[in-house]
Amino acid sequence: MGRRVVITGIGLVSPVGIGTSENWKALCEGSSGVGKITKFDATGYPAQIAGEVKGFDPLAFIEKKEVKKMDVFIQYAIAASQFAMDDSNLSVDSSNATRVGVFIASGIGGFTTIEREHKALLKGGPRKLSPFFIPSAIINLAAGQVSIRFGAKGPNSATCTACTASAHAIGDAYEIIRRDDADAMIAGGSEAAVCAMGVGGFAAMRALSTRNDEPKRASRPFERDRDGFVLGEGSGVLVLEELEHARRRGAKVYAELIGYGMSADAHHITAPAEDGDGAARVMGLAIERGGIQPDEVDYINAHGTATPYNDKLETLAIKKKFGSHARKILISSTKSMTGHLLGAAGGVEAGITALAVHRQTIPPTINLENADPECDLDYVPYKSRVATIRHALSNSFGFGGTNGALLFKRYED
């Protein structure tokens, strides 16, 4: 058995708020962060709505001369990491730098930078390209910049596994600590794909909601009239620590991370497996490795994208794995409020799940007016709910059929 791992810091930047307390308050109140797109002129686009991060000032977190070296997804990662580190009160110095690592994911990376630099290339040729283009856009530079910021010299990596990327980053960071390659990891994900190419590309796939006249009601997981996901942006970062390391410095603990599963559907480039097998197996792996029984799971923060296939097949997978206990599990999709943050979704939702376990409160699924007949479990509609949560899963599923699940346990010293 490996070393025990706990969550001691949570940093969230999302469409519903900047900072963890602001996010938690908005989510428990059932507030949507979806609105009309302001980052570019979306006139003529099938989808003209998104979950944008509002009021974000990079200068509140980053020196002015450094901002131009970073795509927005890196800026969000730095902000979320700063919130998480401040929350954890973890200091990095010469005595522990090599034992603190960073593992921050993204599904797409610097899409805004790529779009901007491509325009510059077409207009003025290669001499118009910024020397900061590549280090601003590539996915591992979120982890790189965060490690530089805090002086963390331990394991440093980034995953790029679509919408499962953050869950994989947190799970892999958990395994790094368990096998004694680090004592603490700054882990999560970041995404900033609300740009012309990002929205246009997903719209071309017919994956996005086109409920343009009702943006706050557009993200409708498990709802009969759902018509696609709402693209979101932001970052979710956790500080993971080996339990005794956290105890020695008197750190507060939100929850213990006890299980991590990975699986593949091997079915289709975008659609989930029709029998829910990959999702069912990944939840089973997290539960098995966590050393608990399925009937000990009380809450699932669902992937819940509001796409026609995902919601009913995730529901099927839950039934497949949990049997009759599925109807006793409380389930919610916070994407109903944040939209879908792609590679950052798992990081934000892992943070929300840890908070739910810590505060014994479940954020709701909003916009669930008429449930899909094939989605017939308890999705905690409309209002947050106080409940006893011993164990909770955070599910993430991505294009290419890649799946991840994280199992959290209520911490009692």
Give the Cα separation of 314 and 157 in Å (integer). 29
Q: How would you class 16 by CB atoms within 10 Å of its CB: exposed for 0-12, middle for 13-18, buried for 19 or more?
A: buried
Considering 28, 160, 168, 303, which one is annotated as catalytic? 303
Give the Cα separation of 335 and 383 in Å (integer). 15
The CA-based angle 235-241-243, given to 5 degrees, is: 145
- With both helix axes pointing from N to C terminus, report the angle between 20-28 and 345-359 in degrees, rounded to the nearest 10: 70
Give residue 211's identity as a one-letter amino acid code.
Answer: R
List the helix and strand counts (H, then E) for the chain: 13, 15
Q: Is position 163 annotated as part of the catalytic site? A: yes
Considering 160, 195, 245, 340, which one is annotated as catalytic? 340
Strands, E assignment, 143-274: 156-157, 184-191, 234-242, 255-264
- Measure Cα distances from 242 to 22, 126, 181, 257, 378 in Å: 27, 48, 11, 10, 34
Give the Cα separation of 84 and 78 in Å (integer). 10
Sort strands 402-409 and 391-398 into parallel, antiparallel or unpaired.
Answer: antiparallel
Q: How would you class 43 by CB atoms within 10 Å of its CB: exposed for 0-12, middle for 13-18, buried for 19 or more?
A: exposed
Considering 163, 245, 375, 391, which one is annotated as catalytic? 163
**Which helix H or strand E contains 361, and what residues bound it?**
strand 361-362
Name the residue among 104, 168, 171 with its Cα closest to residue 138: 104
Give the Cα separation of 304 and 313 in Å (integer). 10
And the tokens for 12?
């969230």
Q: Is position 340 annotated as part of the catalytic site? A: yes
The answer to whether 315 and 329 are in contact (CB under 8 A) is no
Which residues are catalytic, by number?
163, 303, 340
